[in-house]
Structure 1
Protein backbone atom coordinates (compact mmCIF):
# COMPACT_ATOMS: atom_id res chain seq x y z
CA UNK A 1 0.00 0.00 0.00
CA UNK A 2 0.94 3.66 -0.39
CA UNK A 3 0.28 6.82 1.55
CA UNK A 4 -0.16 9.93 -0.57
CA UNK A 5 0.33 13.29 1.14
CA UNK A 6 -1.06 16.14 -0.96
CA UNK A 7 -0.26 19.80 -0.31
CA UNK A 8 -2.18 22.28 -2.47
CA UNK A 9 -4.11 25.52 -2.57
CA UNK A 10 -7.61 25.46 -1.10
CA UNK A 11 -9.24 26.52 -4.37
CA UNK A 12 -7.86 23.40 -6.12
CA UNK A 13 -8.84 20.88 -3.45
CA UNK A 14 -12.37 20.00 -4.57
CA UNK A 15 -11.19 18.48 -7.87
CA UNK A 16 -8.57 16.39 -6.06
CA UNK A 17 -11.04 15.22 -3.40
CA UNK A 18 -13.44 14.04 -6.12
CA UNK A 19 -10.60 12.07 -7.72
CA UNK A 20 -9.70 10.51 -4.37
CA UNK A 21 -13.26 9.38 -3.73
CA UNK A 22 -13.56 7.98 -7.27
CA UNK A 23 -10.65 5.59 -6.67
CA UNK A 24 -12.08 4.21 -3.41
CA UNK A 25 -9.16 4.72 -1.03
CA UNK A 26 -8.57 2.60 2.06
CA UNK A 27 -8.80 5.83 4.04
CA UNK A 28 -8.36 9.55 3.56
CA UNK A 29 -8.47 12.65 5.74
CA UNK A 30 -8.21 16.41 5.30
CA UNK A 31 -6.20 18.37 7.85
CA UNK A 32 -6.51 22.00 8.84
CA UNK A 33 -3.30 23.95 8.40
CA UNK A 34 -2.14 27.34 9.59
CA UNK A 35 -2.09 28.85 6.13
CA UNK A 36 -5.62 29.95 5.26
CA UNK A 37 -5.29 29.26 1.54
CA UNK A 38 -3.71 25.81 1.89
CA UNK A 39 -5.10 22.27 2.24
CA UNK A 40 -3.32 19.11 3.39
CA UNK A 41 -4.76 15.71 2.40
CA UNK A 42 -3.53 12.29 3.47
CA UNK A 43 -4.68 9.22 1.51
CA UNK A 44 -4.04 5.49 2.05
CA UNK A 45 -4.34 3.46 -1.17
CA UNK A 46 -3.86 -0.12 -2.32
CA UNK A 47 -0.87 -0.62 -4.62
CA UNK A 48 -3.19 -1.57 -7.46
CA UNK A 49 -4.82 1.87 -7.45
CA UNK A 50 -2.01 4.13 -6.24
CA UNK A 51 -0.55 4.74 -9.71
CA UNK A 52 -3.95 5.52 -11.23
CA UNK A 53 -4.78 7.97 -8.43
CA UNK A 54 -1.42 9.74 -8.60
CA UNK A 55 -1.86 10.13 -12.37
CA UNK A 56 -5.39 11.49 -11.88
CA UNK A 57 -4.13 14.00 -9.32
CA UNK A 58 -1.36 15.09 -11.68
CA UNK A 59 -3.84 15.66 -14.51
CA UNK A 60 -6.16 17.61 -12.20
CA UNK A 61 -3.36 19.87 -10.95
CA UNK A 62 -1.23 20.07 -14.10
CA UNK A 63 -2.18 23.70 -14.78
CA UNK A 64 -2.19 24.71 -11.10
CA UNK A 65 0.65 26.09 -9.03
CA UNK A 66 2.11 25.45 -5.58
CA UNK A 67 1.19 21.82 -5.11
CA UNK A 68 3.10 18.68 -4.22
CA UNK A 69 2.33 14.97 -3.82
CA UNK A 70 4.54 12.85 -1.57
CA UNK A 71 4.44 9.05 -2.01
CA UNK A 72 5.26 6.94 1.06
CA UNK A 73 5.34 3.09 1.10
CA UNK A 74 3.33 1.49 3.93
CA UNK A 75 4.51 -1.73 5.57
CA UNK A 76 1.22 -2.64 7.30
CA UNK A 77 -2.17 -1.27 8.31
CA UNK A 78 -4.26 -2.20 11.36
CA UNK A 79 -6.98 -3.30 10.90
CA UNK A 80 -6.22 -4.92 7.56
CA UNK A 81 -8.17 -3.31 4.69
CA UNK A 82 -10.51 -5.14 2.37
CA UNK A 83 -8.58 -6.94 -0.40
CA UNK A 84 -8.64 -5.63 -3.96
CA UNK A 85 -10.78 -7.15 -6.65
CA UNK A 86 -9.09 -9.59 -9.03
CA UNK A 87 -8.96 -7.03 -11.85
CA UNK A 88 -7.06 -4.56 -9.68
CA UNK A 89 -4.70 -7.27 -8.44
CA UNK A 90 -3.70 -8.19 -11.99
CA UNK A 91 -2.73 -4.58 -12.72
CA UNK A 92 -0.94 -4.16 -9.40
CA UNK A 93 2.58 -2.74 -9.40
CA UNK A 94 4.76 -3.00 -6.31
CA UNK A 95 6.62 0.19 -7.31
CA UNK A 96 5.06 3.33 -8.72
CA UNK A 97 6.48 4.89 -11.86
CA UNK A 98 7.77 7.89 -9.93
CA UNK A 99 9.47 5.73 -7.31
CA UNK A 100 11.13 3.53 -9.92
CA UNK A 101 12.25 6.54 -11.94
CA UNK A 102 13.74 8.18 -8.85
CA UNK A 103 15.67 5.02 -7.85
CA UNK A 104 16.97 4.29 -11.34
CA UNK A 105 17.89 7.92 -12.07
CA UNK A 106 19.94 8.08 -8.87
CA UNK A 107 21.78 4.83 -9.67
CA UNK A 108 22.43 5.89 -13.28
CA UNK A 109 23.93 9.27 -12.39
CA UNK A 110 27.56 9.92 -13.32
CA UNK A 111 29.21 10.82 -10.03
CA UNK A 112 32.70 10.69 -8.57
CA UNK A 113 31.62 7.77 -6.37
CA UNK A 114 30.52 5.82 -9.46
CA UNK A 115 33.88 6.39 -11.16
CA UNK A 116 35.84 5.46 -8.03
CA UNK A 117 33.83 2.26 -7.53
CA UNK A 118 34.29 1.36 -11.18
CA UNK A 119 38.06 1.75 -10.86
CA UNK A 120 38.34 -0.11 -7.55
CA UNK A 121 36.14 -2.99 -8.71
CA UNK A 122 38.25 -3.29 -11.86
CA UNK A 123 41.43 -3.55 -9.80
CA UNK A 124 39.91 -6.30 -7.68
CA UNK A 125 38.52 -8.12 -10.74
CA UNK A 126 41.73 -7.88 -12.76
CA UNK A 127 43.94 -9.12 -9.93
CA UNK A 128 41.43 -11.81 -9.01
CA UNK A 129 41.11 -13.13 -12.56
CA UNK A 130 44.84 -13.04 -13.20
CA UNK A 131 45.54 -14.99 -10.02
CA UNK A 132 42.56 -17.30 -10.62
CA UNK A 133 41.04 -16.11 -7.34
CA UNK A 134 37.31 -16.78 -7.36
CA UNK A 135 36.71 -14.90 -4.10
CA UNK A 136 38.33 -11.73 -5.45
CA UNK A 137 36.28 -11.87 -8.65
CA UNK A 138 33.08 -12.26 -6.63
CA UNK A 139 34.12 -9.30 -4.48
CA UNK A 140 34.54 -7.19 -7.61
CA UNK A 141 31.05 -8.21 -8.75
CA UNK A 142 29.58 -7.04 -5.44
CA UNK A 143 31.03 -3.52 -5.56
CA UNK A 144 30.73 -2.94 -9.32
CA UNK A 145 28.09 -0.20 -9.96
CA UNK A 146 27.27 -1.10 -13.58
CA UNK A 147 23.69 -2.20 -12.93
CA UNK A 148 22.38 1.36 -12.63
CA UNK A 149 23.14 2.75 -16.10
CA UNK A 150 21.92 -0.42 -17.87
CA UNK A 151 18.52 -0.23 -16.13
CA UNK A 152 18.49 3.53 -16.59
CA UNK A 153 18.94 3.19 -20.34
CA UNK A 154 16.17 0.57 -20.53
CA UNK A 155 13.76 2.60 -18.38
CA UNK A 156 14.58 5.77 -20.32
CA UNK A 157 13.63 3.93 -23.52
CA UNK A 158 10.42 2.63 -21.98
CA UNK A 159 9.35 6.09 -20.79
CA UNK A 160 10.72 8.07 -23.72
CA UNK A 161 12.86 10.00 -21.23
CA UNK A 162 15.69 11.37 -23.37
CA UNK A 163 17.44 12.97 -20.39
CA UNK A 164 17.65 9.60 -18.61
CA UNK A 165 18.71 7.88 -21.84
CA UNK A 166 21.60 10.30 -22.38
CA UNK A 167 22.69 10.30 -18.74
CA UNK A 168 22.61 6.50 -18.51
CA UNK A 169 24.53 6.07 -21.76
CA UNK A 170 27.14 8.58 -20.64
CA UNK A 171 27.49 6.87 -17.25
CA UNK A 172 27.85 3.40 -18.76
CA UNK A 173 30.48 4.57 -21.25
CA UNK A 174 32.37 6.36 -18.48
CA UNK A 175 32.30 3.30 -16.22
CA UNK A 176 33.52 0.95 -18.92
CA UNK A 177 36.19 3.45 -20.01
CA UNK A 178 37.53 3.66 -16.46
CA UNK A 179 37.54 -0.14 -16.28
CA UNK A 180 39.51 -0.43 -19.54
CA UNK A 181 42.03 2.25 -18.55
CA UNK A 182 42.65 0.74 -15.10
CA UNK A 183 42.98 -2.81 -16.46
CA UNK A 184 45.24 -1.59 -19.28
CA UNK A 185 47.53 0.11 -16.74
CA UNK A 186 47.59 -3.01 -14.54
CA UNK A 187 48.74 -5.13 -17.49
CA UNK A 188 52.13 -3.38 -17.34
CA UNK A 189 52.48 -4.38 -13.68
CA UNK A 190 50.95 -7.86 -13.67
CA UNK A 191 52.42 -10.55 -15.90
CA UNK A 192 49.44 -12.10 -17.69
CA UNK A 193 48.65 -15.56 -16.33
CA UNK A 194 47.42 -17.56 -19.31
CA UNK A 195 46.87 -20.57 -17.04
CA UNK A 196 44.17 -18.76 -15.07
CA UNK A 197 40.77 -20.29 -15.71
CA UNK A 198 39.01 -17.15 -14.44
CA UNK A 199 40.85 -14.98 -16.97
CA UNK A 200 40.74 -17.25 -19.98
CA UNK A 201 37.05 -18.03 -19.51
CA UNK A 202 36.38 -14.36 -20.42
CA UNK A 203 37.63 -15.12 -23.94
CA UNK A 204 35.11 -17.92 -24.49
CA UNK A 205 32.08 -16.57 -26.35
CA UNK A 206 29.28 -19.14 -26.63
CA UNK A 207 25.55 -19.11 -27.18
CA UNK A 208 24.96 -19.93 -23.52
CA UNK A 209 26.46 -16.52 -22.74
CA UNK A 210 23.40 -15.04 -24.45
CA UNK A 211 21.03 -16.95 -22.18
CA UNK A 212 22.98 -15.92 -19.06
CA UNK A 213 22.94 -12.22 -19.91
CA UNK A 214 19.27 -12.25 -20.96
CA UNK A 215 18.28 -13.93 -17.70
CA UNK A 216 20.38 -11.54 -15.61
CA UNK A 217 18.98 -8.42 -17.24
CA UNK A 218 15.40 -9.66 -17.00
CA UNK A 219 15.79 -10.59 -13.34
CA UNK A 220 17.33 -7.20 -12.55
CA UNK A 221 14.52 -5.25 -14.22
CA UNK A 222 11.85 -7.47 -12.64
CA UNK A 223 13.32 -7.04 -9.16
CA UNK A 224 13.27 -3.26 -9.58
CA UNK A 225 9.67 -3.30 -10.86
CA UNK A 226 8.60 -5.42 -7.89
CA UNK A 227 10.26 -3.12 -5.37
CA UNK A 228 12.72 -5.76 -4.25
CA UNK A 229 16.41 -5.31 -3.59
CA UNK A 230 18.42 -5.61 -6.78
CA UNK A 231 21.71 -6.29 -4.98
CA UNK A 232 21.84 -10.02 -5.70
CA UNK A 233 20.74 -9.53 -9.29
CA UNK A 234 23.25 -6.73 -9.58
CA UNK A 235 25.94 -9.29 -8.81
CA UNK A 236 24.76 -11.27 -11.85
CA UNK A 237 24.83 -8.19 -14.05
CA UNK A 238 28.27 -7.20 -12.81
CA UNK A 239 29.45 -10.71 -13.54
CA UNK A 240 28.34 -10.26 -17.12
CA UNK A 241 29.99 -6.85 -17.63
CA UNK A 242 32.95 -6.15 -15.37
CA UNK A 243 35.09 -9.31 -15.78
CA UNK A 244 35.16 -9.25 -19.61
CA UNK A 245 35.80 -5.50 -19.48
CA UNK A 246 38.75 -5.97 -17.16
CA UNK A 247 40.01 -8.90 -19.25
CA UNK A 248 39.81 -6.73 -22.37
CA UNK A 249 42.05 -4.10 -20.79
CA UNK A 250 44.57 -6.70 -19.59
CA UNK A 251 44.85 -8.39 -23.00
CA UNK A 252 45.16 -5.05 -24.83
CA UNK A 253 48.02 -4.00 -22.57
CA UNK A 254 49.73 -7.35 -23.10
CA UNK A 255 49.39 -7.06 -26.89
CA UNK A 256 47.15 -10.13 -27.09
CA UNK A 257 44.77 -8.62 -29.62
CA UNK A 258 43.12 -11.91 -30.58
CA UNK A 259 42.14 -12.65 -26.99
CA UNK A 260 41.20 -8.99 -26.50
CA UNK A 261 38.79 -9.15 -29.44
CA UNK A 262 37.04 -12.16 -27.92
CA UNK A 263 36.68 -10.40 -24.56
CA UNK A 264 35.34 -7.34 -26.36
CA UNK A 265 32.78 -9.49 -28.18
CA UNK A 266 31.66 -11.06 -24.89
CA UNK A 267 31.39 -7.63 -23.26
CA UNK A 268 29.39 -6.16 -26.13
CA UNK A 269 27.16 -9.24 -26.33
CA UNK A 270 26.34 -9.02 -22.64
CA UNK A 271 25.50 -5.30 -22.82
CA UNK A 272 23.09 -5.88 -25.71
CA UNK A 273 21.45 -8.89 -24.03
CA UNK A 274 21.02 -7.07 -20.73
CA UNK A 275 19.43 -4.11 -22.47
CA UNK A 276 17.03 -6.24 -24.55
CA UNK A 277 15.78 -8.24 -21.57
CA UNK A 278 15.38 -5.16 -19.34
CA UNK A 279 13.44 -3.38 -22.11
CA UNK A 280 11.14 -6.39 -22.47
CA UNK A 281 10.45 -6.65 -18.73
CA UNK A 282 9.64 -2.95 -18.31
CA UNK A 283 7.32 -3.20 -21.31
CA UNK A 284 5.55 -6.32 -20.03
CA UNK A 285 5.07 -4.69 -16.60
CA UNK A 286 3.38 -1.77 -18.42
CA UNK A 287 5.70 0.84 -16.99
CA UNK A 288 4.81 3.70 -19.32
CA UNK A 289 4.52 7.51 -19.35
CA UNK A 290 1.51 9.35 -17.99
CA UNK A 291 0.32 11.27 -21.04
CA UNK A 292 -0.74 10.12 -24.52
CA UNK A 293 1.85 12.26 -26.31
CA UNK A 294 4.60 11.02 -24.00
CA UNK A 295 3.44 7.48 -24.70
CA UNK A 296 3.87 8.01 -28.44
CA UNK A 297 7.44 9.25 -27.89
CA UNK A 298 8.12 6.32 -25.55
CA UNK A 299 6.83 3.81 -28.11
CA UNK A 300 9.09 5.32 -30.75
CA UNK A 301 12.16 5.22 -28.47
CA UNK A 302 11.33 1.68 -27.33
CA UNK A 303 11.00 0.20 -30.82
CA UNK A 304 14.09 2.01 -32.10
CA UNK A 305 16.20 0.64 -29.25
CA UNK A 306 14.67 -2.83 -29.49
CA UNK A 307 15.25 -2.95 -33.25
CA UNK A 308 18.87 -1.86 -32.96
CA UNK A 309 19.57 -4.16 -30.01
CA UNK A 310 18.04 -7.24 -31.61
CA UNK A 311 19.86 -6.56 -34.88
CA UNK A 312 23.17 -6.33 -33.02
CA UNK A 313 22.30 -9.45 -31.02
CA UNK A 314 21.57 -11.46 -34.16
CA UNK A 315 24.82 -10.26 -35.73
CA UNK A 316 26.83 -11.22 -32.66
CA UNK A 317 25.17 -14.66 -32.47
CA UNK A 318 26.07 -15.26 -36.12
CA UNK A 319 29.68 -14.32 -35.34
CA UNK A 320 29.67 -16.75 -32.40
CA UNK A 321 28.44 -19.58 -34.61
CA UNK A 322 31.06 -18.74 -37.27
CA UNK A 323 33.83 -18.71 -34.65
CA UNK A 324 32.67 -22.05 -33.24
CA UNK A 325 32.64 -23.59 -36.71
CA UNK A 326 36.10 -22.19 -37.42
CA UNK A 327 37.47 -23.69 -34.19
CA UNK A 328 35.86 -27.04 -35.01
CA UNK A 329 37.49 -27.06 -38.42
CA UNK A 330 40.90 -26.21 -36.91
CA UNK A 331 40.58 -29.00 -34.39
CA UNK A 332 39.50 -31.41 -37.12
Structure 2
Protein backbone atom coordinates (compact mmCIF):
# COMPACT_ATOMS: atom_id res chain seq x y z
CA UNK A 1 0.00 0.00 0.00
CA UNK A 2 1.46 3.37 -1.05
CA UNK A 3 0.29 6.58 0.61
CA UNK A 4 1.17 10.07 -0.60
CA UNK A 5 1.53 12.27 -3.63
CA UNK A 6 0.43 11.89 -7.24
CA UNK A 7 1.43 14.78 -9.47
CA UNK A 8 1.86 15.82 -13.06
CA UNK A 9 5.56 16.25 -13.82
CA UNK A 10 6.67 18.89 -16.30
CA UNK A 11 10.34 18.76 -17.22
CA UNK A 12 12.27 21.36 -19.16
CA UNK A 13 15.63 20.04 -20.37
CA UNK A 14 18.19 22.34 -21.95
CA UNK A 15 19.77 21.48 -25.27
CA UNK A 16 23.12 22.99 -24.33
CA UNK A 17 24.87 23.60 -20.99
CA UNK A 18 22.51 25.24 -18.51
CA UNK A 19 23.09 28.97 -17.95
CA UNK A 20 21.65 30.53 -14.82
CA UNK A 21 19.78 33.82 -15.05
CA UNK A 22 18.98 33.71 -18.76
CA UNK A 23 16.75 31.95 -21.29
CA UNK A 24 17.95 28.45 -22.20
CA UNK A 25 16.88 26.64 -25.40
CA UNK A 26 15.33 23.30 -24.54
CA UNK A 27 12.40 20.92 -24.71
CA UNK A 28 9.39 20.50 -22.40
CA UNK A 29 7.83 17.12 -21.57
CA UNK A 30 4.87 16.11 -19.41
CA UNK A 31 4.57 12.82 -17.52
CA UNK A 32 2.99 11.16 -14.49
CA UNK A 33 4.76 11.81 -11.19
CA UNK A 34 4.58 12.06 -7.43
CA UNK A 35 6.73 9.96 -5.12
CA UNK A 36 4.07 7.57 -3.82
CA UNK A 37 2.51 7.31 -7.28
CA UNK A 38 5.88 6.60 -8.90
CA UNK A 39 6.71 3.98 -6.28
CA UNK A 40 3.31 2.35 -6.81
CA UNK A 41 3.75 2.25 -10.59
CA UNK A 42 7.26 0.82 -10.30
CA UNK A 43 6.04 -1.88 -7.91
CA UNK A 44 3.19 -2.74 -10.27
CA UNK A 45 5.66 -3.10 -13.15
CA UNK A 46 7.77 -5.36 -10.93
CA UNK A 47 4.76 -7.64 -10.54
CA UNK A 48 3.53 -6.57 -7.10
CA UNK A 49 -0.12 -6.09 -6.20
CA UNK A 50 -0.24 -2.44 -5.16
CA UNK A 51 -2.82 0.16 -4.15
CA UNK A 52 -2.35 3.94 -3.97
CA UNK A 53 -3.99 6.23 -1.41
CA UNK A 54 -3.79 9.76 -2.78
CA UNK A 55 -5.88 12.77 -3.84
CA UNK A 56 -6.43 14.16 -7.32
CA UNK A 57 -7.66 17.59 -8.26
CA UNK A 58 -10.96 18.01 -10.07
CA UNK A 59 -9.35 19.02 -13.35
CA UNK A 60 -8.03 17.70 -16.65
CA UNK A 61 -4.60 16.97 -15.13
CA UNK A 62 -6.23 14.83 -12.45
CA UNK A 63 -8.33 12.86 -14.92
CA UNK A 64 -5.28 12.20 -17.10
CA UNK A 65 -3.14 11.22 -14.10
CA UNK A 66 -5.74 8.76 -12.81
CA UNK A 67 -6.02 7.16 -16.23
CA UNK A 68 -2.29 6.70 -16.76
CA UNK A 69 -1.73 5.40 -13.22
CA UNK A 70 -4.53 2.84 -13.45
CA UNK A 71 -3.26 1.75 -16.85
CA UNK A 72 0.12 0.94 -15.24
CA UNK A 73 -1.59 -1.57 -12.94
CA UNK A 74 -2.10 0.48 -9.76
CA UNK A 75 -5.41 0.11 -7.87
CA UNK A 76 -6.96 3.54 -7.16
CA UNK A 77 -10.14 2.52 -5.35
CA UNK A 78 -8.87 4.02 -2.07
CA UNK A 79 -7.98 7.41 -3.60
CA UNK A 80 -10.30 10.40 -3.99
CA UNK A 81 -10.91 13.60 -5.96
CA UNK A 82 -11.10 16.96 -4.18
CA UNK A 83 -13.71 19.18 -5.85
CA UNK A 84 -12.59 22.59 -7.10
CA UNK A 85 -8.93 21.82 -6.38
CA UNK A 86 -5.97 21.76 -8.76
CA UNK A 87 -3.93 18.56 -9.19
CA UNK A 88 -0.41 18.77 -7.82
CA UNK A 89 2.39 19.58 -10.26
CA UNK A 90 6.16 19.32 -10.18
CA UNK A 91 8.16 21.38 -12.66
CA UNK A 92 11.86 20.58 -13.07
CA UNK A 93 14.66 22.27 -15.01
CA UNK A 94 17.33 19.82 -16.15
CA UNK A 95 20.62 20.54 -17.86
CA UNK A 96 21.65 18.78 -21.06
CA UNK A 97 23.18 15.90 -19.07
CA UNK A 98 19.90 15.29 -17.24
CA UNK A 99 21.02 16.72 -13.88
CA UNK A 100 18.48 18.74 -11.90
CA UNK A 101 19.19 22.48 -11.73
CA UNK A 102 15.99 23.70 -10.07
CA UNK A 103 12.41 22.65 -9.47
CA UNK A 104 9.08 24.10 -8.34
CA UNK A 105 6.34 22.12 -6.59
CA UNK A 106 2.71 23.29 -6.65
CA UNK A 107 1.13 20.93 -4.14
CA UNK A 108 -1.32 23.04 -2.15
CA UNK A 109 -3.83 20.28 -2.91
CA UNK A 110 -2.41 18.12 -0.11
CA UNK A 111 -2.91 20.87 2.47
CA UNK A 112 -6.64 20.69 1.65
CA UNK A 113 -6.90 17.01 2.52
CA UNK A 114 -9.18 16.44 5.48
CA UNK A 115 -7.44 14.45 8.25
CA UNK A 116 -10.59 12.35 8.60
CA UNK A 117 -10.01 10.91 5.13
CA UNK A 118 -6.89 9.07 6.29
CA UNK A 119 -8.59 7.95 9.50
CA UNK A 120 -11.41 6.43 7.47
CA UNK A 121 -8.93 4.78 5.10
CA UNK A 122 -6.63 3.37 7.78
CA UNK A 123 -8.17 -0.10 7.91
CA UNK A 124 -7.67 -0.35 4.16
CA UNK A 125 -4.13 1.03 4.41
CA UNK A 126 -3.08 -1.51 7.02
CA UNK A 127 -4.28 -4.37 4.80
CA UNK A 128 -1.04 -4.01 2.88
CA UNK A 129 1.83 -6.30 3.86
CA UNK A 130 4.06 -3.22 3.63
CA UNK A 131 2.91 0.40 3.96
CA UNK A 132 4.97 2.95 2.05
CA UNK A 133 4.54 6.65 2.79
CA UNK A 134 6.04 9.82 1.33
CA UNK A 135 5.88 13.19 3.12
CA UNK A 136 3.56 15.07 0.76
CA UNK A 137 0.60 15.03 3.17
CA UNK A 138 0.38 17.25 6.25
CA UNK A 139 2.54 16.74 9.34
CA UNK A 140 -0.62 15.72 11.22
CA UNK A 141 -1.42 12.95 8.73
CA UNK A 142 2.20 11.78 8.67
CA UNK A 143 2.38 11.54 12.46
CA UNK A 144 -0.94 9.68 12.55
CA UNK A 145 0.26 7.03 10.08
CA UNK A 146 3.53 6.57 11.95
CA UNK A 147 1.67 6.23 15.25
CA UNK A 148 -0.86 3.77 13.85
CA UNK A 149 1.94 1.69 12.31
CA UNK A 150 3.65 1.52 15.71
CA UNK A 151 0.44 0.58 17.53
CA UNK A 152 -0.62 -2.03 14.94
CA UNK A 153 2.83 -3.48 14.26
CA UNK A 154 2.74 -2.57 10.55
CA UNK A 155 5.92 -2.50 8.48
CA UNK A 156 6.16 1.18 7.48
CA UNK A 157 8.73 2.43 4.98
CA UNK A 158 9.16 6.19 4.53
CA UNK A 159 10.75 8.29 1.80
CA UNK A 160 11.28 11.88 3.11
CA UNK A 161 10.94 13.33 -0.46
CA UNK A 162 12.94 16.57 0.03
CA UNK A 163 14.83 18.55 2.65
CA UNK A 164 11.83 20.87 3.06
CA UNK A 165 9.29 18.06 3.47
CA UNK A 166 11.62 16.06 5.74
CA UNK A 167 10.85 18.66 8.41
CA UNK A 168 7.24 17.41 8.52
CA UNK A 169 8.41 14.21 10.19
CA UNK A 170 7.90 14.15 13.98
CA UNK A 171 10.82 14.15 16.41
CA UNK A 172 9.88 10.61 17.45
CA UNK A 173 10.25 8.28 14.46
CA UNK A 174 9.20 5.14 16.36
CA UNK A 175 6.84 3.25 14.06
CA UNK A 176 9.07 3.61 10.99
CA UNK A 177 10.64 0.25 10.15
CA UNK A 178 12.83 1.65 7.37
CA UNK A 179 13.56 5.22 6.31
CA UNK A 180 15.06 5.98 2.88
CA UNK A 181 16.61 9.46 2.88
CA UNK A 182 19.17 10.81 0.45
CA UNK A 183 22.29 12.60 1.66
CA UNK A 184 20.63 16.00 2.18
CA UNK A 185 17.52 14.58 3.83
CA UNK A 186 19.64 12.45 6.18
CA UNK A 187 21.60 15.57 7.11
CA UNK A 188 18.35 17.32 8.10
CA UNK A 189 17.19 14.29 10.10
CA UNK A 190 20.51 13.79 11.91
CA UNK A 191 22.10 17.25 12.10
CA UNK A 192 25.26 15.81 10.55
CA UNK A 193 27.03 17.30 7.52
CA UNK A 194 27.44 14.22 5.31
CA UNK A 195 30.59 14.26 3.19
CA UNK A 196 31.68 10.63 3.36
CA UNK A 197 30.07 7.19 3.74
CA UNK A 198 31.31 7.17 7.36
CA UNK A 199 29.41 10.42 7.93
CA UNK A 200 26.31 8.78 6.45
CA UNK A 201 26.64 5.80 8.78
CA UNK A 202 26.88 8.13 11.77
CA UNK A 203 23.84 10.03 10.47
CA UNK A 204 21.98 6.72 10.25
CA UNK A 205 22.84 6.00 13.88
CA UNK A 206 21.48 9.38 14.93
CA UNK A 207 18.29 8.79 12.92
CA UNK A 208 17.86 5.43 14.63
CA UNK A 209 18.21 7.18 18.00
CA UNK A 210 15.10 9.14 17.00
CA UNK A 211 13.20 5.85 16.78
CA UNK A 212 13.44 4.57 13.19
CA UNK A 213 14.34 0.87 13.27
CA UNK A 214 16.53 0.94 10.13
CA UNK A 215 18.00 3.53 7.80
CA UNK A 216 19.16 3.19 4.20
CA UNK A 217 20.85 6.40 3.06
CA UNK A 218 21.44 7.04 -0.64
CA UNK A 219 24.62 8.90 -1.58
CA UNK A 220 24.16 9.07 -5.35
CA UNK A 221 27.32 8.06 -7.18
CA UNK A 222 28.96 7.19 -3.84
CA UNK A 223 26.53 4.34 -3.17
CA UNK A 224 24.34 3.81 -0.13
CA UNK A 225 24.73 3.06 3.58
CA UNK A 226 22.76 0.58 5.67
CA UNK A 227 22.39 1.20 9.41
CA UNK A 228 20.51 -1.35 11.53
CA UNK A 229 20.87 -3.11 14.89
CA UNK A 230 22.87 -5.83 13.20
CA UNK A 231 25.10 -3.89 10.82
CA UNK A 232 26.39 -0.55 9.59
CA UNK A 233 27.95 -0.75 6.17
CA UNK A 234 28.55 1.03 2.87
CA UNK A 235 27.41 -0.51 -0.43
CA UNK A 236 29.11 0.82 -3.61
CA UNK A 237 26.85 1.85 -6.47
CA UNK A 238 26.56 0.45 -9.98
CA UNK A 239 27.42 3.14 -12.54
CA UNK A 240 25.41 4.04 -15.62
CA UNK A 241 24.87 6.74 -18.21
CA UNK A 242 22.24 9.30 -17.25
CA UNK A 243 19.40 10.46 -19.48
CA UNK A 244 17.23 11.98 -16.74
CA UNK A 245 17.53 11.89 -12.93
CA UNK A 246 13.83 12.52 -12.28
CA UNK A 247 12.22 9.62 -10.43
CA UNK A 248 15.43 7.67 -9.81
CA UNK A 249 15.00 7.92 -6.05
CA UNK A 250 11.40 6.75 -6.31
CA UNK A 251 12.40 3.72 -8.38
CA UNK A 252 15.11 3.01 -5.81
CA UNK A 253 12.46 2.98 -3.07
CA UNK A 254 10.31 0.62 -5.15
CA UNK A 255 13.21 -1.76 -5.75
CA UNK A 256 13.98 -1.88 -2.02
CA UNK A 257 10.32 -2.52 -1.16
CA UNK A 258 10.07 -5.18 -3.85
CA UNK A 259 13.08 -6.99 -2.43
CA UNK A 260 11.81 -6.88 1.15
CA UNK A 261 8.32 -8.01 0.07
CA UNK A 262 9.83 -11.11 -1.53
CA UNK A 263 11.86 -12.05 1.54
CA UNK A 264 15.24 -10.63 0.52
CA UNK A 265 17.67 -9.15 3.05
CA UNK A 266 18.00 -5.38 3.32
CA UNK A 267 21.40 -5.58 1.61
CA UNK A 268 20.05 -7.46 -1.40
CA UNK A 269 16.96 -5.23 -1.44
CA UNK A 270 19.23 -2.16 -1.47
CA UNK A 271 21.04 -3.56 -4.51
CA UNK A 272 17.69 -4.18 -6.23
CA UNK A 273 16.82 -0.58 -5.42
CA UNK A 274 19.99 0.63 -7.11
CA UNK A 275 19.19 -1.49 -10.16
CA UNK A 276 15.69 0.02 -10.35
CA UNK A 277 17.17 3.51 -10.05
CA UNK A 278 19.55 2.73 -12.92
CA UNK A 279 16.58 1.78 -15.07
CA UNK A 280 14.98 5.15 -14.27
CA UNK A 281 18.21 7.05 -15.02
CA UNK A 282 18.32 5.41 -18.45
CA UNK A 283 14.81 6.63 -19.29
CA UNK A 284 13.11 9.97 -19.89
CA UNK A 285 10.24 8.67 -17.76
CA UNK A 286 10.12 8.79 -13.94
CA UNK A 287 9.47 5.03 -14.05
CA UNK A 288 11.04 3.07 -16.88
CA UNK A 289 8.13 1.63 -18.92
CA UNK A 290 10.02 -1.66 -19.35
CA UNK A 291 11.00 -2.04 -15.70
CA UNK A 292 10.88 -5.69 -14.63
CA UNK A 293 12.09 -7.96 -11.85
CA UNK A 294 14.15 -9.98 -14.33
CA UNK A 295 16.10 -6.88 -15.33
CA UNK A 296 16.82 -6.00 -11.69
CA UNK A 297 18.18 -9.44 -10.93
CA UNK A 298 20.23 -9.42 -14.12
CA UNK A 299 21.80 -6.06 -13.19
CA UNK A 300 22.62 -7.10 -9.64
CA UNK A 301 23.65 -10.67 -10.34
CA UNK A 302 21.55 -11.74 -7.35
CA UNK A 303 19.45 -14.93 -7.58
CA UNK A 304 15.71 -14.35 -7.95
By the TM > 0.5 criterion, same fold?
Answer: no
Q: Which has the higher strand share?
A: 2
Q: Which has the higher helix share?
A: 1
TM-score (norm 1): 0.23
TM-score (norm 2): 0.24
Larger Rg: 1
Higher relative contact order (CA 8 A, sep 6+): 1
